[in-house]
Amino acid sequence: MASGNAIRGSRVGAGPMGEAERGESAPRTRISFWCANGHETQPSFAGDAQVPDTWDCQRCGFPAGKDRDSPPDPPRTEPYKTHLAYVRERRSDADGEAILAEALAKLRGEI
């Protein structure tokens, strides 16, 4: 006696899949890109697609170029800056002293 499952023993998408059912695949081109660490990435592009000059490396994330001997430079990462570091870029010590003196005078009721 059947359990009522008409597609027993198969899964969704099972069956003969090939060129006849999917159609012909588009022509593809594989291009090699190299990063500064020497990693090679080979993405495939459609035959008529415009290939970019750089591509992100799949292993390290650095930008990769088509020229193996001179890959693009890795991006410069700036260290984390605190709020105080940003304030010191905008204001000199003299400006800070003047602002502090004004704020203290306002608190003391002099202004």
pLDDT for res 25: 78
The answer to whether 52 and 39 are in contact (CB under 8 A) is: no
What letter does residue 50 receive in the DSSP assignment?
Answer: P
Note the pTM of the prediction, 2 decimals: 0.54
35 labeled part of a ligand binding site = yes
Q: Residue 110 has what pLDDT?
A: 75
In DSSP terms, 64 is beta-bridged to 55
Residue 19's SS3 state is: helix
The per-residue pLDDT for range 50-96, each reduced to its tens digit, is 999 999 999 999 999 999 999 999 888 888 999 988 988 999 989 98
Domain boundaries, the chain: 28-65, 79-110
On the CB side of 53, how many CA atoms lie within 13 Å of its CA?
3
Is 20 marked as binding a ligand?
A: no
pLDDT of 26 strictly over 60: yes
Domain topology for 28-65: Rubrerythrin, domain 2 (2.20.28)
3-class DSSP assignment, residue 83? helix
How large a percentage of the chain has pLDDT more than 70? 78
In a 3-state reduction of DSSP, which class is residue 32?
coil
Was 110 annotated as part of a binding site? Answer: no
